[in-house]
Amino acid sequence: MYRQGIEGFSYYLGIRSLEDVAAPTDRVCVLNILGGESRTVTPISHAFSGGNVVYGTAPGRGTQVLPTPIGDVPVYNNVREGMNAGHRFNTGVVYLPPAGVRDGVAELIRVNPKLSKIIIITEKVAVHDAREIRAIAQANGVDVIGGNCLGVADSWNRIRLGGALGGDHPDESLRKGTVAIFSNSGGFTTTIAQYLATEGWGTTTLISSGKDIYIHYAARDFAFALSNDARTKAAVLYVEPGGYYEHEVAFDKPVVACVVGRWKSKLTRAVGHAGAMAGSGDSAQDKERWFMETFGVDGLWTPETPHASAKGAVVVNIADIPAALTQVMALNGMTPDFAPTGSLALKPWMANTQGIALPADLDLPLVPAMAPYDAQIGALSKRIGAVFARQGMKDASGASVMDPKTQVTSVHGHSVLDLALEPLEASFALPLVHEIADAHDRALLDVAVSAEVNLVGEPMLIAADAAREAGNAPNAIMAAAVSIVGPRRVERPLACARTLIDLFAPTGLRTGRDPAFDVTMVAVDEATRALFLARPDEAADPRPEAMLTAVRDRGCDSVFLRFLETLGGRPSRDAILAAIATTIAWGPLTRKRISRLTAETLPWYLRLYGVMVGASIEGRHHERGNLHGIPRQERFSAWTVADLCYLAVTGKRARGDEAKPLQLLIGLLISNGPGSISAQGAKGAVAADGPQTPQRVQINTAMAGFLTHTGFSHGGNGFEGMAFLLQQFEGSGLEDPTDPNHGLDLTAMAMAFAESYKAEKRKAKELGLETRALPGVHHPVFRGKPVNHDPREEFIARFMAERGDYNIFHAFYRELVTALYEVGASPYVFCVNIDAVIAALLLAVLWKDYRSGALTGGDLETAAFNVFLYGRMIGSAAEIDDHMNRGRNMDTRTPASQCRYVS
Amino acid sequence: MQLTGLLHGAPLLRYVDFPVTEVLGPGASEDEIQDLLNRHGTVFVKPIFKGGVGRKGKAGLVGVVRDLKSALAEKERLYFAEHRHGALVAKANGVTFEAGVPAQHEVYFSITDDTHFRAPTMTITHKGGIEIEELDHSELATVPFEALTGLKAFVVANALSDLGAPREIISPLVQHLPRLWDLFHHYGMTTLELNPIRLRAEAGGRLLPVACDFKAGFDRDDPRMARLGLPAHLFAGSVSEFEHEVNQLRTYQGQSDVFVINEHGTILAPTFGGGANSLVTEVLGDSAIISSDFGGNPPYEKMKAVARICYRHFLRQSNVLFIIGGKANNTDIHETFRAMGDALREHFAERGPTPLHVVVGRGGPNLIRGFGTLAETCDALGVPYRFFGFDSAISEVVAYARKVDAWMSDGGRAVIARHMGLKEGGLKDDA
């Protein structure tokens, strides 16, 4: 049963011409106008169309309004209320949830006798409901478009009804022309319009038909309206498989049909007869054939085989639509509506190879985007550096992770084992640039840290010495010093770094040491210049010149240092520190490996590194121009960070490879993941300052947080292994622990100890006492096999063997675990753990001085603690920076519900 | 979503009092089968397939038996029978024993929504029991009818009269067939087919239509289907674990249709919109792992959940994460890209990094914000990427993604792995 609309149709059809699809006279009522999709789309449609939405409905939310750029749209509880309020409309737009669509259609039709069109945007309307919608609309003489569509639009009259054709900038895609579009795909309706414009074709009416089983406004209906629209000279149909909607449809204007979906045949499950009847014969291939027969062409249109007639062409790639249309129209003697607006060639708008060399045909150069996207991308590129999503970072880290199987921790993707093999200054930089610094940047870092270690005349040194005198452990001594390196002490280098980033970000500089970069192109005002130059009260500070000399001596280049030298004055030490930091950070910053925040705060970390190493050297060794007797320029120009640490631990200049074991040790100690107490201390301090306002986070306090979360058990216990070894080698006459020809019978020593340990164990058991644990032997994870190994210990052993290095203490430990098993003191061969390796390496470094009496047992303990702190200082810097970038305020606290009261 | 066979079809037909032949399931005892044979003489043994499997008879997958020994032999033959239909292979799991219905007349009957008419449409012939494609059109009646009033007796009567059906079958069919509309329309069906309906002579010679096979297609978007209480596993025949996971999201969070095309593919291409989906999968060919249409404007949470599932199943094997769509109308690109980026970040955090190249082609609202967010994620993860705007032809971007994939397969993957500090295979060095 249907009401007769246009004569000649055996069903109701009311739309006579494409002009009527989205007409300026249409007035719209939107159902569920305040729903999520409508709320964003309707205001744009309304404004674009000059205000065609008269009201909307939202049950229970009547009296509200939908704000739009051209005024509020009233909202009523139902259609009747709006009608009673005097509003009149002929078009209903349905944004209701699927289950409500059929009833919404019924409401529109029943309540408004003047209704002529309904556009159903909702997807997933049940076929059952679509069936009934079709019947209701047919019986009442209403055209339905959709469902599951994106509405209709008219480029001539700037009208958009329902849906979002043209997106949030309809003017971009809805350009006036002579081509109508009818598309099963809502997304492609806009895309096709935009593609057509590249060849100079504009549009008249665009219809997103939807692709449900029931296409209420279908190709046959479109063909009729196309014929009657004088504005439209041609049409594009975008067609997907399924349904007979296009079968034997006659067009009297040129048409390009794009048929896609051959692949779908692969996916179709076998069906029975009824399904086969309804669903066979309407595949993509079938539809291609229908259109080819209609157009009288014997093949698909491709650029290589452009089959086309004056009636049309069939393509299977939407990118071919514009060219096919141009050809078809040329056969009809018609030319495009306007000049081509571009091409569809590949245009990468944004890219980053992350420093990987791609083949030239993949590494396509960036192409400036069209307006307004170019400006938006420009604004993005000014936002230099990475941005990290904030989240609760309790017990979590974006910097470090420990593999629970191997116990090996990685920091920014580099395992501590690998870091142990890297020069120490590379490890110093890693937490902050997230990459292994190359030799050039390492040299710069050496200069920066060297310039901060000598604390003569600084309050940090006074505080450190006072703490030392008070009997504090090395962690508290360092904490006293770093507490003084507060925000004001780094205000200027941080301001310099910030300003350098501001000045150079817009230049497109990609690396901090680009020798071709013309620094004179960066203009500065007087205030900025003053920021970088030394003040009169700094005239006596020799370090700026010494640093610049050191940079030259080391053969380094820095765009930023060159820039400082163009300012026509004497740069300050702070400015040089900032310039070095920015040079190191620039590459990772522009590659978005690190955030701007990290780059800006890098000078603070470098200063803290220097102060912490410096504070571990007693005050009496800090002199003007000399540290432990080593002259300034030598340290600045030639020393590495490892040399400085060696000096701090031994009080001596490292000769040859002497600092190498220290580098290994510090590398191994960098991190044990975010769960370690030291990391927790650092993260807690950041959380307490509030990383969501990162400018308020005191990085020095966070370092103090790490330091106060170390102690004799966590950091100081490295000495236990040394004490054990001292006990074993006391009176052995050992002179050089690195000499394999030491003349000692390690096996016998190990067996003797194992026997005594076994006896001790037995006795303790008889007395019901706990047996003492042997430092450096056994590990709760590496256990249970006949012979067990700590992979970290194996790694170091392998490395030392490859280098031909020998360490008697390490060798003893290996003998010991075997002996313990052989005498029955252990159920299997325990592993030599990483603590033993650390003790062995460090004791070998200090053995001679200990033997000579230059170092006491207390000194050894301090040295062991300091070495731990040097390593963990690096790991903590990584956690502090990570937490500042990713964390939320106070995110390390434990909810009260998870805390326990113990009585 | 299809259901075939009388094991589950018979109870559905009983909802509307449509006579159906007696059927025993795979668990039937020998005594029960013997009893069925005793009462009906002939028994059909049919394999049970999940989903829709057509033309079993033609494939020799229906056994006709008259004694227990043959019944058991056919049970053994058909229990795990395989049925090939084109490229698809279905495997049976069980058999039914269906009582033969002696009859002179066999009828084919179906209801479906026919796009020729845009209306529910009945197809009927009194020459049923065979493949109806083999019949001449003049021997079939295909009749659309009014959805609001349903299938009425007169529609059936008129059709059978037009076909010149034997008079004795018209009245029984007119009485019984309209009931099937209730089953079709009120339980979320899109197709209902009974072939054959055999007209069994009852006492007094009156004929009774008895359904001897059953096929139905269901509308996955229609909650009415749930009224039937059919177990979900009936429709899980060829749905992979991945599809199942994504489909679960579908039920409450809107559209997300996925298929695994090639589980060994190397391009993971979540696509938006049916159009892009069709185009992209076409051009990617076997390189594509999945075909997907995540629909318009998926909310952040849904998009992230879908992305997480995609990554968990397929990222490790993927060379290219290819995010592609046209110029979106109302999809918030920023929201979808943020969701996919966040899921990627979390995936890397939970399962470790994997060598990957990201290629994007997209347009739509908040495009550059979306690009920016995704770029930041890739930068943070050290993953190379190239983003194309909507002024690059989608097909060209697809071709570019294929080129990247080829390069990755040809050593590029190892290059990226090394750059990311991973072993060639993508595992972390210290793993």
Helix axes A718-729, A834-852, angle to 10 degrees: 60
Beta strands in A288-343 (DSSP E): 312-315
My answer on whether B266 and B385 are in the same domain is yes
| pLDDT value, residue A57 | 97
Within an 8 Å CB–CB cutoff, is residue B295 touching chain A? yes
* Residues of chain B positioned with their CB less than 8 A from the CB of A164: 329-330
Q: Residues of chain A with pLDDT > 70: what percent?
A: 98
**Mean pLDDT within A95-100:** 94
| pLDDT tens digit sequence for A776-830 | 998 888 888 899 999 889 998 999 999 899 999 999 999 999 999 999 999 999 9
User: Residue A856: left if φ>0, alpha if ψ -120 to 50, beta else—which one?
Assistant: beta
Nearest Cβ partner of A188 from B191, B326, B378?
Answer: B326
Select the residue from B279, B287, B337 to test the A interface by mutation, using most A Cβ atoms within 10 A: B279
User: CA-to-CA distance for A748 and A173, rounded, in angstroms?
Assistant: 88
Q: What is the per-residue pLDDT across A516-549, written as a single tens digit (0 to 9) for each?
A: 999 999 999 999 999 999 999 999 999 999 999 9
**Residue B400 forms contact with A (CB below 8 Å):** yes
Handedness of CA A693, A695, A697, A703 (dihedral sign): positive
Say yes or no: B295 and B347 in one domain: yes
State how far the Cα of A152 lies from the Cα of A208, in Å rounded to an integer: 6
**A415: nearest CB among B259, B387, B430:** B430
> What confidence score (pLDDT) does residue A271 get?
33
With an 8 Å Cβ cutoff, is B86 touching chain A? yes
| CATH number of the domain encompassing residue B315 | 3.40.50.261
Which run of H or of E encompasses A606?
A: helix A596-615
Q: Are residues B395 and B248 in the same domain?
A: yes
Digit-coded pLDDT (tens) for A158-208: 999 987 898 888 888 899 999 999 999 888 899 899 999 999 999 999 999
Q: How far is A87 from chain B (nearest CA, A)?
A: 28
How many alpha carbons fall within 13 Å on the CB side of residue A605? 31
Q: Is A318 on the interface with B (CB under 8 A)?
A: yes
Alpha-carbon gap: A561 to the closest alpha carbon of chain B (Å):
27
Answer whether A839's CB lies under 8 Å from A809's CB.
Answer: yes
Identify the residue among B88, B133, B330, B378 best suited for mutation to test binding to A, counting A beta carbons within 10 A and taking the highest: B330
End-to-end C-alpha distance for chain B, whole angstroms: 43
One domain, residues B66 and B141: no
Domain boundary among B180, B214, B234: B234
Q: State the DSSP H helix or E strand holding residue A546, giving kind and residue range, or none if neither.
A: helix A543-553
Residues 6+ apart with CB under 8 A from B87: A266
Q: What share of chain B is helix, strand, coil (3-state, %, to 5)?
A: 45, 25, 30
Q: What are phi and psi of A832, to 5 degrees?
A: -85, 120
Q: Which of A34-38, A305-309, A869-873, B236-240 has the lowest mean pLDDT?
A: B236-240
For residue B431, pLDDT over 50 is answered with no
Res B429 pLDDT > 50? no
Q: Would B184 be classed as within a structural domain?
A: yes
CB of A824 less than 8 A from some CB of B: no
Q: Are residues B208 and B310 in the same domain?
A: no
Total Cβ atoms within 10 A of residue A604: 27
- Give yes or no: residues B175 and B57 share one domain: no
CB contact under 8 A, A216 and B221: no
Mean pLDDT of A441-465: 97
DSSP state of B337: H
pLDDT band at A713 (very low <50, low <70, confident <90, very high): confident
CB contact (8 A) between residue B274 and residue A351: no
Comparing CA positions, the residue from B416, B327, B404, B420 lying closest to residue B370 is: B327
Whole-angstrom distance, CA of residue A128 vs CA of residue A369: 46
Q: Encode pLDDT of B331-377 as tens digits.
A: 788 889 999 998 998 898 788 899 999 999 998 888 999 999 999 88
Q: Which residue has the higher pLDDT, A730 or A224?
A: A224
Counted across chains A and B, CB pairs separated by less than 8 A come out at 351
Question: Which DSSP string corresponds to B392-424?
Answer: S-HHHHHHHHHHHHHHIIIIIHHHHHHHTTB-T
Q: Which residues pair with A94 in a beta bridge?
A: A31, A120
Within 701-730 of A, beta carbons closer than 8 Å to B belong to none
The pLDDT tens digits for B245-274 are 877 765 444 445 677 888 899 999 987 766
The CA distance from A215 to the nearest CA of chain B, in Å, is: 8
Average pLDDT value for chain A:
92
Contact criterion met (CB below 8 Å) for B291 and B277: yes
Residues 41-60 on A with a CB inside 8 Å of B are 41
A415 interaction partners in chain B (CB closer than 8 Å): 429-430
Chain A contact set for B349 (CB, 8 A) = 398
* Stated length of chain B: 431
Residue A243 is which amino acid? G
| B282 contacts A260? CB cut-off 8 A | yes
Q: Are A348 and B387 in contact (CB under 8 A)?
A: yes
pLDDT at A31 over 60: yes
CA distance B385 to B340: 14
* pLDDT score of B151: 97
Contacts of A184 in chain B (CB under 8 A): 274-275
In A, minimum Cα distance to B296 occurs at A187
A206 CB-near residues (< 8 Å, 6+ apart): A152, A153, A154, A155, A165, A174, A180, A181, A183, A189, A190, A193
Which regions of B212-288 does DSSP assign to beta strands (E)?
A: 215-218, 257-260, 267-268
| A316 touching chain B per CB within 8 A | yes
CATH code at position B194: 3.30.470.20
Q: Which residues does A412 contact at the CB level (< 8 Å), separation at least 6?
A: A399, A400, A430, A431, A434, A435, A878
Residue A333: CB atoms within 10 Å = 7
Asked if residue B208 and residue B84 are part of one domain, the reply reads no
Average pLDDT for A128-137? 96
Structural domains of chain B, count: 3
Q: Which domain-ending residue is among B76, B100, B124?
A: B100
Residue A342, chain B, CB below 8 Å: the answer is: yes
Query: How confident is the model over A861-875, as a mean pLDDT?
Result: 94
In sequence order, what DSSP letters do the residues of A728-758 get, joined into one string? HHTTS----TT-S-----HHHHHHHHHHHHH
The reported pLDDT for the residue numbered B254 is 44
Contacts of B146 in chain A (CB under 8 A): 1, 135
| B412 and B267 in a common domain | yes
Establish if B428 belongs to a structural domain.
Answer: no
CA B147, distance to chain mean position in Å, is 25
Q: Please name the residues between 322 and 361 in chain B that touch chain A, using a CB distance below 8 Å.
A: 325-332, 342, 345, 349, 353
Interface test with A, best of B359, B390, B402, B407 (most A CBs within 10 A): B390
Residue at B11 is within a domain:
no
Q: For residues B85 and A57, what is the distance between their CA atoms, to the nearest angstrom?
A: 50
Q: Is B125 on the interface with A (CB under 8 A)?
A: no
Report the 10 Å Cβ neighbour count for A140: 17
Residue B427 is predicted with a pLDDT of 40
Contact B372 A282 (CB under 8 A): no
Q: Is the pLDDT of residue B217 over 70?
A: yes
Lowest mean pLDDT among A478-487, A608-617, A839-848: A839-848
* Range name among A353-362, A631-640, A862-871, B281-290 with the lowest pLDDT average: B281-290
Stretch 359-388 of chain B: residues touching chain A, C-beta under 8 Å: 363-369, 371-372, 375-376, 378-380, 382-388
Tell me, letter by letter, the H, E, C secondary structure of A568-597. CCCECHHHHHHHHHHHHHHHHHHCCCCEHH
DSSP B180: H
Lowest mean pLDDT among A173-182, A294-303, A782-791, B69-78: A782-791
Is A678 within 8 Å of A876 (Cβ atoms)? Answer: yes
Which residue, among A72, A29, A44, A65, has the nearest Cα to A159 in the 3D structure? A44
Answer yes or no: do A123 and B396 touch at CB < 8 A.
no
* Interface contact B185-A131, CB threshold 8 A: yes
User: Searching chain B, which residue's CA lies closest to the CA of residue A413?
Assistant: B421
Identify the closest residue of chain A to B390 by CA–CA distance.
A191
Determine, for residues A348 and B327 on separate chains, whether the beta-carbon distance falls below 8 Å: no
- Of the candidate ranges A272-286, A549-563, A862-876, the one whose mean pLDDT is the lowest: A272-286
Instruction: Give the residue numbers spanning the domain of B333.
Output: 239-419
Whether the CB of B222 is below 8 Å from some CB of chain A: the reply is yes
CB contact under 8 A, A135 and B54: no
Residue B164 binned pLDDT confidence (cut-offs 50, 70, 90) = very high
Is it the case that residue A279 has pLDDT exceeding 60? no
Residues 6+ apart with CB under 8 A from B164: none
Q: Which of A346, A406, A668, A886 to mutate to test the interface with B (most CBs of B within 10 A)?
A: A346
In a domain, B4, yes or no: no
Phi then psi dihedrals of residue A296, to 5 deg: 70, 35
B244/B384 same-domain check:
yes
Both structure tokens of A665: 């040790």
Amino acid in position A818 = T
- For B288: left if phi > 0, alpha if psi spans -120 to 50, otherwise beta; the answer is beta
CA-nearest residue of chain A to B192? A274
d(CA B213, CA A840): 83
Question: Are the Cβ atoms of A349 and B297 closer than 8 angstroms?
Answer: no
Average pLDDT, integer, range A731-739: 93
Report CA dihedral (B274, B276, B282, B285) to the nearest 10 degrees: -110
CA-CA distances (angstroms) from residue A791 to A420, A782, A831? 14, 9, 9
Assigned domain for B16 exists: no
Nearest chain A residue to B213 by CA distance is: A272
What confidence score (pLDDT) does residue A395 get? 94
Residue A354 falls in which region: left (phi positive, over 0), alpha (psi -120 to 50) or beta:
left
A283 and chain B: CB distance < 8 Å anywhere? no
Positions of E strands within A383-423: 400-402, 409-411, 414-415
- Please report the pLDDT score of residue A571 as a whole number: 97
State how far the Cα of A699 lies from the Cα of A486, in Å rounded to an integer.
8
Residue closest to A791 by CA, chosen among B430, B281, B320, B310: B430
Tell me: the pLDDT tens digits for A569-589? 999 999 999 999 999 999 889
Q: What is the DSSP letter of A11?
A: S
Q: Does A184 touch chain B (CB under 8 A)?
A: yes
d(CA A598, CA A432): 6
Please determine, for residue A265, whether its predicted confidence score (pLDDT) is greater than 70: no
CA distance A139 to A11: 9
Per the CB < 8 Å rule, is A362 touching B342? no
Q: Are residues B69 and B108 in the same domain?
A: no
- Which helix (DSSP H) or strand (DSSP E) does residue A885 occupy? helix A857-886
Give me chain B's average pLDDT, please.
87
Instruction: Nearest chain A residue to B418 by CA: give it.
Output: A356
A248 part of contact set with chain B, CB < 8 Å: no
Residues B348, B219 share a domain: no
pLDDT of res. A113: 95
Asked, for residue B426, whether it belongs to a domain, the answer is no
Interface probe, candidates B386, B403, B405, B427, chain A, greatest A C-beta count within 10 A: B386
CATH number for the domain spanning B56: value is 3.30.1490.20
Residue B10 domain-assigned (yes or no): no
Per-residue confidence (pLDDT) for residue A880, from 0 to 100: 98
Domain for residue B302, yes or no? Answer: yes
Query: Per-residue confidence at A692, pLDDT binned at 50, 70, 90?
Result: very high
**Sequence-distant (≥ 6) Cβ neighbours of residue A457 within 8 angstroms:** A624
* Gyration radius (Cα) of chain A, Å: 39
In this predicted structure, what is the pLDDT of residue B423?
Answer: 63
Instruction: Say which residue, A613 or A341, is predicted with more confidence.
Output: A613
Instruction: Name the token pair of B427.
Output: 């595992």
Name the residue among A722, A732, A679 with its Cα closest to residue A838. A722
A567 touches chain B (CB under 8 A): no
Q: In this complex, do B274 and A127 lie within 8 Å of one another by their Cβ atoms?
A: no
Q: How far is B38 from chain A (nearest CA, A)?
A: 31
> Is residue B236 pLDDT above 70, yes or no?
no
Residues B391 and B414 occupy one common structural domain: yes
Domain boundary among B189, B219, B234: B234
Q: Which of A172, A121, A687 is nearest to A391 (CA)?
A: A687
